[in-house]
Amino acid sequence: MQPAASILIVDDHDGFRTFARGMLEADGFTVAEAATGAEAAETARSVRPGLVLLDIQLPDFDGFEVARRLAAQGGGSAQAGGPVIVLTSTRDASDYGGRIGSSPAAGFLPKDQLSGAALRRFLAASSPAGT
Amino acid sequence: MSRRALAWLIAGAVAATACYFLVARPPGPNAYLIFYLGTPAVAVAFLAAGLAAWLRWPGSRLGLLFSLVGYFTLLPALDYLDNPAGFTIGNAAVSLAGAALAHLGLAWPTGRLRSRFERGVVVAEYASAAGFSLLGMLVWDPAFSGCDASCPANLLLVYGSRPAWDAVNVLNAVVSAVLTVIVVVLIVRHWRSARGWSRQAMVPLVWVAVVIGAESAITNVTGLYRLPPLANLIFNGWAPLVSLLGPVLFVISTVRARTARGALGTAIVDLEPGAPPGRLRDTLARALGDSTLQLAFRDGNGFTDTSGLAVDPAQPDPGRAVVPLTGPQEAVLVYDAGLELEPQLIRLTVAAASMALEHSRLQAEVQAQLELVRASRARIVEAGDAERRRLERDLHDGAQQRLVTLTLALGMARSRVAGVDPELEALIEAAGKEAKEALTELRELARGIHPAVLTETGLAGAIQALVERSPAVVTITEVPRERFPAVIEATAYFVVSEALANVAKHARAGTAQVSIRRLPGRLAVRVSDDGAGGARPERGSGLAGLADRVASAGGVLRVDSPPGAGTRLEADIPCP
């Protein structure tokens, strides 16, 4: 069992953030929020979350760009101490073609399938001990 | 010209000719028939040409000059009258026709003499023709010319002197020769300085002038000797035939105008619509027979012709005339002033040019309107695409988002009551499932409205997604990875999407190939399958709508679908 990880939810939709936070906190995570890409980069620097749940559709930059910046500021990858980045959207992964695969994100999670268990799987897959 | 004037002219010509036959004696044993018939033949030809010229060019003096030559040709026949007055006048008028002919040649083709010098030459011609005859008459005893006592008396005879008469004749011959040379040289110079229509009009005259000049020189020289009848026939017998060349000039000019009229008619028909103004000018110039024709258009404050020369319609160069064209553009024709004699030709040319320009303008207008329609169609499609993109995004940002949140809330609610109230838990789980179903359906709907993947990743990703969702085995042979303008991407995408939908629905195909190739200036989309074929882009079908869509992007869609041999759908979409 992993220690309670901190999660940064990046999404411009207040309702989603509220419910996602409630669900994840109930599941034992520490949760921080950001509504924009710029805010996400800033919060990630101060909070240093273990996982960033990153919506692809953001008002300022798109999720791919934010993922690139987070990865760059976090040391390049989860192994180098950066957060595990999980892209999310109400759309399908197939709607983004190959862009998800070529981004530094660890993977994609459709929004409606969000759960603490799903995030733990990403964390486990990315931790050096888990692989 | 009024009918009455015309009647008088005809009557005069007929009367003069009739008089000739009344007074002229048939040739005696020492004369030849050609001299008897040559005179009236020449006269009638000139009188007829005069009448016709009067009708054709009412404002010109050419009709008068032709007629004068005709009357002057008949006048010497008065000496057949057994009457001293007629005999005297007839002999005095013997050279007047030549002078009138020189006048005609110098005034050709407008009827006007060109300079004071030329007017002087013409006056000298008439003066020497009348003067030397009269001078000779003063000293000429008809007996010198073998006329016996049966000849009527010379009323002007003052003192019969053969040496004086010979001297007058020699002087007359010399002056006539000089004047003839001057006239021929002037005519050749007119020809050389003329351009366009006038130059063409001068060409036959130059030939006629040279021949008549030569004939007149021979007559002059031989007139100094008393020739035996046969020699007289050889040297002078062709004189009447040569004189007939004068009326031939008129015939040639008439034929030429008629030919030009016909050629203009043909040119109007043959001129392809929308030809550049330069070609229009060339065609008209050729048909009209005026190589100097200029077609000039309003250009700022002035006019510029089709070869780029500035033209001032208010002050045309000497020898040039200007006529405005009717029509939308301000344009003028500048032509050789010699054509002023042929107002009908000018009217015809103006009509042809105006019509051609109007035609070109209409065509340009239609073309412009077509362009407008094309552009607006493209804008409509573009706006439609943008609207669909917006709808998809609205669904994504709105309803889908809320459904996702609802799903999460239901999930949380379910976990709260888990193990507490199994009935409620089951109810919430069912609600959650419904919400997820709704979300899936909404996602499909949104994708149908506009594929987000196209906006997100461009053609390569979008085609890949289409292929992955297709139930058939589809291979992608080529797809460019670069991005294109949204309309082009959407059009190419819809071609592939419609083709693959048909493959799945109708074609009973096992496999299909998709290729999108980036070619210079265009995107070539091609989808082929090995199915049943027989697809037809009829109205209302998906293919017809697709053809419209491709056409709105300026492209073409081809469907090749022989029954039983698969379907090939090809679209060429212009792409900068």
Q: pLDDT tens digits for B487-536? A: 999 999 999 998 888 888 776 767 899 999 999 999 999 999 888 777 77
Q: Across chain B, what does the average pLDDT equal?
A: 86
Between these two residues, B165 and A131, which has the higher pLDDT value? B165
Q: Which of B395, B397, B405 to mutate to test binding with chain A, by most A CBs within 10 Å of its CB?
A: B405
Q: Give pLDDT, residue A131.
A: 39
**Structural tokens at position B479:** 């797809």
Evaluate if residue A2 carries a pLDDT over 50.
no
Q: Determine contact: A9 vs chain B, CB below 8 A.
A: no
Q: Give pLDDT, residue B32.
A: 67
**Alpha carbons B317 and B69: distance in angstroms, whole number:** 34
Q: Give pLDDT, residue B22.
A: 81
Contact of B526 with B515, CB cutoff 8 Å: yes
Give SS3 for B299: strand
**Structural tokens at position B481:** 């990875």
Between these two residues, B131 and A130, which has the higher pLDDT value? B131
Contact of B76 with B94, CB cutoff 8 Å: yes
Evaluate if residue B350 carries a pLDDT over 50.
yes
Mean pLDDT confidence for B352-372:
86
**Alpha carbons B183 and A129: distance in angstroms, whole number:** 123
The type of residue at B384 is G
- Residue that the structure tokens 């010229």 belong to: B53
Residues of chain B numbered 453-482 and touching chain A (CB < 8 Å): 453, 456-457, 460-462, 464-465, 468-469
Does the distance separating the beta carbons of A99 and B408 come in below 8 Å? no
Mean pLDDT confidence for B14-32:
75
∠ at Cα B146 (B140, B148), nearest 5°? 95
Percent of the residues in chain B that have a pLDDT greater than 90, as a whole number: 24
Q: Determine contact: A57 vs chain B, CB below 8 A.
A: yes
Does the distance separating the beta carbons of A98 and B412 come in below 8 Å? no
Tell me whether strands B294-299 and B331-336 are parallel, antiparallel or unpaired.
antiparallel
**Structural tokens at position B149:** 């006592």
For B402-450, strand residue ranges (E) read none
Helix (H) or strand (E) holding B429: helix B422-449
Contact of B576 with B500, CB cutoff 8 Å: no
Contact of B338 with B198, CB cutoff 8 Å: yes
By Cβ distance, the residue of B402, B412, B452 closest to A26 is B412
From A24's Cα to the closest Cα of chain B, the distance in A is 10
Q: Give pLDDT, residue B557.
A: 92
Q: Determine contact: B405 vs chain A, CB below 8 A.
A: yes
Mean pLDDT confidence for B294-320:
88
Q: pLDDT tens digits for B445-474? A: 988 888 888 888 889 888 988 888 888 889
Does the distance separating the beta carbons of B396 and A94 come in below 8 Å? no
Between these two residues, B481 and B329, which has the higher pLDDT value? B481
Does the distance separating the beta carbons of A114 and B436 come in below 8 Å? no
Q: What are phi and psi of B187, to 5 degrees?
A: -65, -40
Confidence of residue B334 (pLDDT cuts 50, 70, 90): very high
Q: Give pLDDT, residue A76.
A: 46
Residues in chain B: 576
Chain A residues whose beta carbon lies within 8 Å of the beta carbon of residue B469? 94
Give SS3 for B228: coil
Residue of B562, B472, B402 lying closest to A112 (CA atoms): B402
Q: Determine contact: A95 vs chain B, CB below 8 A.
A: yes
Helices (H), B450-503: 452-457, 459-469, 486-502
Burial (0-12, 13-18, 19+ Cβ within 10 Å), B58: exposed
**Minimal-distance CA residue of chain B relative to A62:** B456
CA distances from B103 to A76, A85, B67, B407, B472 (A): 109, 110, 12, 114, 98
SS (H, E, C) B51-106: HHHHHHCCCCCHHHHHHHHHHHHHHHHHHHCCCHHHHHHHHHCCCHHHHHHHHHHH
By Cβ distance, the residue of B404, B412, B460 closest to A22 is B412
Q: Determine contact: B412 vs chain A, CB below 8 A.
A: yes
Confidence of residue B28 (pLDDT cuts 50, 70, 90): low
Does the distance separating the beta carbons of A20 and B456 come in below 8 Å? no
Q: Determine contact: B299 vs chain A, CB below 8 A.
A: no
**Alpha carbons B404 and B394: distance in angstroms, whole number:** 14
Does the distance separating the beta carbons of B400 and A90 come in below 8 Å? yes
Does the distance separating the beta carbons of B468 and A94 come in below 8 Å? yes
Does the distance separating the beta carbons of A90 and B396 come in below 8 Å? yes
**Alpha carbons B457 and A103: distance in angstroms, whole number:** 13
**Alpha carbons A20 and B432: distance in angstroms, whole number:** 15
Q: Give pLDDT, residue A1.
A: 44
Q: Which own/partner contact pairs does A110-114 have at CB distance under 8 Å and 24+ positions apart?
A: A111/A16, A111/A55, A111/B401, A111/B404, A111/B408, A112/B403, A112/B404, A112/B407, A112/B408, A112/B435, A112/B436, A112/B439, A114/A20, A114/A23, A114/A53, A114/A88, A114/B408
Q: Determine contact: A2 vs chain B, CB below 8 A.
A: no
Does the distance separating the beta carbons of B405 and A97 come in below 8 Å? no
**Alpha carbons A24 and B412: distance in angstroms, whole number:** 10
Q: pLDDT tens digits for B249-281? A: 889 888 988 888 888 888 877 777 667 888 889
Q: Give pLDDT, residue A31.
A: 93
**Structural tokens at position B555:** 């492209």
Q: pLDDT tens digits for B432-452? A: 999 999 998 998 898 888 888
Tell me whether strands A30-34 and A6-10 are parallel, antiparallel or unpaired.
parallel
Evaluate if residue A71 carries a pLDDT over 70.
yes
Does the distance separating the beta carbons of B407 and A112 come in below 8 Å? yes
**Minimal-distance CA residue of chain A relative to B441:** A91
Q: What are phi and psi of B572, to 5 degrees?
A: -110, 115
Q: Give pLDDT, residue B160.
A: 80
**Structural tokens at position A2:** 């992993």
- Residue that the structure tokens 């620097």 belong to: A45
Q: Give pLDDT, residue B1.
A: 60
**Alpha carbons B290 and B298: distance in angstroms, whole number:** 22
Q: pLDDT tens digits for B108-139? A: 888 889 899 999 999 999 999 888 888 888 88
- Phi-psi region for residue B335, left (φ > 0), alpha (ψ -120 to 50) or beta? beta
Q: Which of B389, B395, B401 to mutate to test binding with chain A, by most A CBs within 10 Å of its CB?
A: B401
From B410's Cα to the closest Cα of chain A, the distance in A is 10
**Alpha carbons A7 and A25: distance in angstroms, whole number:** 9
**Structural tokens at position B536:** 């037809």
Mean pLDDT confidence for B545-555:
89
Q: Give pLDDT, residue B416.
A: 86
From B528's Cα to the closest Cα of chain A, the distance in A is 23
Contact of B289 with B200, CB cutoff 8 Å: yes
Q: Determine contact: A52 vs chain B, CB below 8 A.
A: no
Of B234-238, B267-271, B300-304, B426-430, which range is least confident? B234-238
Q: What are phi and psi of B419, to 5 degrees?
A: 80, -10
Percent of the residues in chain B that have a pLDDT greater than 70, as a whole number: 96
Q: Determine contact: A112 vs chain B, CB below 8 A.
A: yes
Evaluate if residue B30 carries a pLDDT over 70.
no
Contact of A24 with A86, CB cutoff 8 Å: no
Chain B residues whose beta carbon lies within 8 Å of the beta carbon of residue A53? none
Chain B residues whose beta carbon lies within 8 Å of the beta carbon of residue A94? 453, 465, 468-469
Does the distance separating the beta carbons of B409 and A92 come in below 8 Å? no
Contact of A109 with A87, CB cutoff 8 Å: yes
Residue of B442, B486, B441, B480 lying closest to B463 (CA atoms): B480
Give me the interface pTM, i.e. the ipTM: 0.84
- Residue that the structure tokens 């050389």 belong to: B192
Does the distance separating the beta carbons of A96 and B403 come in below 8 Å? no
Residue of B566, B465, B573, B476 lying closest to B515 (CA atoms): B476
**Alpha carbons B473 and B475: distance in angstroms, whole number:** 7
Does the distance separating the beta carbons of A90 and B402 come in below 8 Å? no
From A129's Cα to the closest Cα of chain B, the distance in A is 30
Q: Give pLDDT, residue A3.
A: 53
pTM here is 0.61
**B567 forms bridges with which residues in the sheet?**
none
Between these two residues, B572 and B234, which has the higher pLDDT value? B572
Evaluate if residue B483 carries a pLDDT over 80.
yes
Contact of B395 with B446, CB cutoff 8 Å: yes
Does the distance separating the beta carbons of A23 and B412 come in below 8 Å? yes
Evaluate if residue B239 carries a pLDDT over 50.
yes
Q: What are phi and psi of B565, to 5 degrees?
A: -125, 30
Evaluate if residue B539 carries a pLDDT over 70.
no
By Cβ distance, the residue of B397, B436, B443 closest to A92 is B443
